[in-house]
Amino acid sequence: MYNVSIGITTNMGESATGWIAQNADSLGARSIWIGEDIALGQETFVLTANTLMQTKNVRVGTGIIPVPVHNIATLARVGLALSEIGEGRFAFGFGIGGLQDLERHGINIRKPVTELRKTVQTLTRLWEGETVDSESEMFSLKNFGLGQANPLKVPIFLGVRGPQMLKLTGNIADGVILSGPFDYLRNAITMVD
């Protein structure tokens, strides 16, 4: 068997993503990562749930969700629901997103490293069953919890690029989602370790 992961985006049609999901197990794929194109295509979390339901062994992850365009309480509930649907096969891949894309949506993040750290910490605490008071440039939660019966460990993969973000990923995430030329990737991996 090959050690293959498949990357798709929300701008692919349902028939193409459905075919990939239906054949991923039999083809021996290790994982399917669904990237969100915030300007085009299908809704990411519906597509991820559908892919989880069409597979049995393949890990399915979002790769990558730009967190500034989503409410953090919604992200927490999505992580809980997709983990349940996937019976432990779901991984949450997210990042700040492309700053130019965010600006087109009227979103300006002044301290992306701080915001991503706070997002990961807050989501982790919520999935562990805590009731949270947390505030950042992107969100504000007061006495918020998910009310689940048992703590949940949702693997977090960060899609990042710069040196500070790569170092942050090495400290707080379960994995990293990288793309780019070989020399960049080789250098980026050393920063994450």
- Write out pLDDT tens, residues 5-21: 999 988 887 888 889 99
Write the pLDDT tens digit of every residue in 52-93.
999 999 999 999 999 999 999 999 999 999 999 999 999 999
Which pLDDT score is estimated for 125?
97
Peptide bond preceding 8: is omega within 30 degrees of 0, i.e. cis? no
With contact defined as beta carbons under 8 Å apart, do 76 and 127 qualify?
Answer: yes
pTM of the model: 0.92
Task: Name residues whose C-beta falls within 8 Å of residue 104's C-beta, 6 or more positions apart in sequence.
Answer: 39
Quick one: tokens of 182?
Answer: 């070989």
Write the pLDDT tens digit of every residue in 88-100.
999 999 999 888 8
Interatomic CA distance for residues 177 and 94, integer angstroms: 9
Length of the chain: 193
- From first CA to last CA, the distance across the chain in angstroms is 28
Q: Which residue has the tokens 């049995």?
A: 56
- What superfamily would CATH give domain 4-99+154-192? Luciferase-like domain (3.20.20.30)
Quick one: tokens of 89?
Answer: 């096969």
Q: In terms of Cα–Cα distance, which of 119, 15, 108 is closest to 75?
A: 119
Would you kindly state where each structural domain of the chain is located, as residue ranges? Answer: 4-99+154-192
3-state SS class at 48:
helix
- Other Cβ atoms closer than 10 A to 67: 22
Give residue 67's identity as a one-letter amino acid code.
V
With contact defined as beta carbons under 8 Å apart, do 5 and 55 qualify?
Answer: no
* pLDDT of residue 41 exceeding 90: no
